[in-house]
Amino acid sequence: MVEFRNVSKTYDNGTKALRDVSLKIEKGEFVFIVGASGSGKSTFLKLIMREEMPNDGEIIVNGRKLSTLRHRDVPHLRRSMGIVFQDFRLIDKMTVYENVSFAMHVVGASPRNIRKRVPYILSLVGLQDKARCYPSELSGGEQQRVALARALVNNPLMIIADEPTGNIDPTLSYEIVELLNEINRRGTTVIMVTHEHSLVKRFRRRVVEINDGCVVADSAQVSVPAAE
Amino acid sequence: MFKWLTNCIYLTKEGIRNLWCNRMMTFASIGVLVSCMLLSGGSMLISLNIANILKQVEKNNLVMVYLNDDVTELEAIKVGTAMESISNILEKELITRDEALRQMMEKVENADALLEELLQDNPLPNSYRVTLTDLSKYDQTIEELKALEDVQSVRGESETSQQLVQIEQTITGVLLWIILLLVIVSLFIITNTIRVTMYNRRREISIMKSVGATDWFIRIPFIVEGAIIGVLSALLATLLLGYAYTNIDWGNGMVLWDLVAFENYKMLFLTAFTVAGIVFGSIGSVISIGRYLKDEGGDVFE
């Protein structure tokens, strides 16, 4: 699903964000990416989304080498992934329903499909009663569930979550990860960046630790022999 | 095809809705565009009026062509035929020596007897009253007239006409520069206005990119927005300009010539404003958004 082969990334200002990272995430996996801030986690996600290009090495997503991807194919790559941000990134002037349906308009879904799919996804995250609310009228946890609904609505192959619980109080954090867990159980790959060790401990999943641009620990390599 | 159509409808709706959601910016943009249109429209009207006045003056601008004393009326008509080869002549009218004398004597009281006497031995020559088409070719035309056979002398208001042409050229030149300057200023203001809008909405753009929106999907609502602002501004500017020009007394009593009627230029202004508005609005949008689309995803991740 996602493979990094000896990937290095140095920014123009000289910051070495990733050094010689090799990593393979299989279809259907749930992976926590942990590490201190500035360790290279965000660069890792940017590279998967092809928001940045590596200086060295090769990244393969869904069987496609990102280095050969043309600019106009980038939107299609991103449609195969649902992205959840720490700060939710909802559009304030749109209702909950519109924030979710908007992602379907982007991929050119038919109005009929949208009318059917959006209520279903909203009920999946438990927000069917808040469809007409605006983001400002919701709690942090609820806003993040809207963001999750938006990420899920196009049935992506993988969910990428960048500190999704960072702005939510701890009790609600579990709820969000539980939802991600449920999504993963239905077959979607989940990559979640976090620095909350309590979550990592509670949900026993593969953990990849990045420190100073290098993968310093990978629980998959402890329990399972490393893939080629 | 169907997908394309539903997308278009959705994006147009989005554009209209953005206009309302960002209404402060919408009003500001319309204000800027309308002011620029009014200023350039005003300059255009001044220019049109000057051209119109000059046309009226030119029409009245006469050159007298006096023929040699011994030229008969028949020969004078031949000279008239020869004049037709000069392209810059709008009208010509033969004034025979007898007519000239009568016109002259009309101003003198009780001159009937004198007139009769003078008609026997008329001291005046046959002449032509000639109107020119283009005053700027005045000198050349005079030379051509002088070169004709049997022409004795040519008398015209050389200096007056030269001055008029100079005034027209100066004023038109100055106005052209003013209009050009206004176009540059308005383009600058418009791109800046759009840039501010874009800056306010870069978050929205980055969200759209993160869910996989293509560049055109992001652009179209902005273009629709720009175009609608352009059309609204054009309508408003035409109405205001027409009202100001027709209903406000600019001291008409002091003007010797008739002003051009706004009615005749209404459609011209509306069309020019609309085209300019749409072009400025939508191209401005495309240019300003280009920056945000180029760096992949802007700041999808912080």
Lowest model confidence (mean pLDDT) among A40-44, A127-131, B131-135, B261-265:
B131-135
Nearest-by-Cβ selection for B300 from A51, A102, A107: A51
Q: Which of A116, A131, A155 is at the close of a domain?
A: A155
First to last CA, chain B: 38
pLDDT of A228 over the 60 cut: no
**Which residues on neighbouring strands pair with residue A207, listed in sequence order?**
A32
| A52 touches B at CB < 8 Å | yes
- Residue A227: the pLDDT is 41
| B1 touches A at CB < 8 Å | no
Q: β-pairing, B89-95 with B127-132?
A: antiparallel
Q: Which residues of A touch B221 (CB under 8 A)?
A: none
What parts of chain B have a pLDDT lower than 70?
A: 1-3, 57-61, 107, 109, 157-162, 194, 249-258, 291-292, 294-302
- Say which CATH number the domain at A74 has: 3.40.50.300
CB pairs under 8 A between A and B: 67
> Which residue out of A18, A39, A50, A51 would a mutagenesis test of the B interface target, given it has the greatest number of B Cβ atoms within 10 Å?
A51
Return the higher-pLDDT residue of A129 and B150.
A129
**CATH architecture assigned to B62-156:** 2-Layer Sandwich (3.30)
Any domain includes A1: no
- Residue A22: the pLDDT is 92
**Which residues on neighbouring strands pair with residue A33, listed in sequence order?**
A193, A208
**pLDDT, mean over chain A:** 89
- B289 vs B194: CA distance, rounded Å: 8
Question: A148 pLDDT band (50/70/90 cuts)?
Answer: very high
Which tokens go with A186?
């239905």
Other CB atoms within 10 A of residue B221 CB: 22
Number of H helices, E strands in chain B: 10, 4
- Residue B161: the pLDDT is 64
3-state secondary structure of A101: helix
Amino acid at B14: E
- Residue B12: the pLDDT is 84
Q: Where are the domains of chain B?
A: 14-56+164-248+257-294, 62-156
Q: Which of A110, A132, A155 is at the close of a domain?
A: A155
**Which ipTM was obtained for this model?**
0.80
Any domain includes A227: yes
The pTM of this model reads 0.67
Q: Are residues A220 and A169 in the same domain?
A: yes
- B244 vs B152: CA distance, rounded Å: 53
- Residue B298: the pLDDT is 45
- Residue B249: the pLDDT is 63
Question: Which residue carries 């004078």 as its tokens?
Answer: B76
Please answer whether residues B67 and B79 qualify as being in contact, where contact means their C-beta atoms are separated by less than 8 angstroms.
yes
Question: Domain residues for A96?
Answer: 91-155
Task: Kindly state the percentage of chain A with pLDDT values over 70.
Answer: 96
Return the higher-pLDDT residue of B7 and A184.
A184
